[in-house]
Amino acid sequence: MIDGYNKLYGDWEKRWKNSQEKEQLSLLGRRMFKSKIKSMAEIISDIPVQTVIEVGCGLGYTLDFYCRRGFDCIGIDIAENAVACCKNKGLPVIREDLENIDEKYDLVSSDGMLEHFMDFQPYARHLMRISRNYVLLIQPNHDSFVGKTLVYLSELIKGDKNVFEYNFRINDFITVFSRNGFDVVKNIPVFQDVFRILLFQKRR
């Protein structure tokens, strides 16, 4: 485990505690998710992919999207509570740390994980290491007015129920991936630009 992240992992367990019984997306959450999967469906239909790993699959919303589209997919998460919730939903999931994955996948996907690390670069490199061709990230866009406002409101309302997120810019991700041989091939705004879907392809 990369040093100093025990507390963060504890925060995720706490965040997902009891999720199996009562976690539900809010109305806003449902709308955001709907527009996210609409854009993802368009992106995915354009690329040749069979195997998908969803890293940090949480409660399995994004993993469920990949499974329904018929990909050979697996979700991993470090948090036992998240894994139990995905299993309850019948999703293919294992409790594992990204660092310990050795197999390679056509598409490595991660939705809302990197922004929680003070230094996301080691994790970004692991995502690229296990990718045969593509990495897809879904990241909050801290340059968007609506995005910034929603993060601020959510912090005010939910306080430390939220797992802290750093305000990296979309360009930070693009720069780190590019330095490591992955070029951004799609950069799609979602839901008033609150999120960006970034698709990276390995440079040949």
Ligand X SMILES: C[S@@+](CC[C@H](N)C(=O)[O-])C[C@H]1O[C@@H](n2cnc3c(N)ncnc32)[C@H](O)[C@@H]1O
Which residues bind to ligand X, rule: CB under 6 A?
A: 12, 55-62, 76-79, 82, 97-98, 111-113
Q: How far is the CB of 109 from ligand X (least distance, A)?
A: 9
Nearer to ligand X, 79 or 124 (CB): 79
Which of 71, 65, 69 minimizes the C-alpha distance to 34? 65
Distance CA 27, CA 18 (A): 20
Query: Minimum Å distance from CB 123 to ligand X?
Result: 6
- Residue (88 or 183) nearer to ligand X, CB: 88
CB of 54: closest distance to ligand X in angstroms? 7
Please give the order of strands across the beta sheet that includes 131-140: 93-95, 72-77, 51-55, 105-111, 131-140, 195-202, 182-190
Q: How far is the CB of 22 from ligand X (least distance, A)?
A: 15
Residue with Cβ nearer ligand X (92 or 112)? 112
Residue closer to ligand X by CB (options 18, 204) is 18
Asked if residues 136 and 197 have their Cβ atoms less than 8 Å apart, the reply is: yes
- Contact by Cβ (8 Å): 172, 123: no
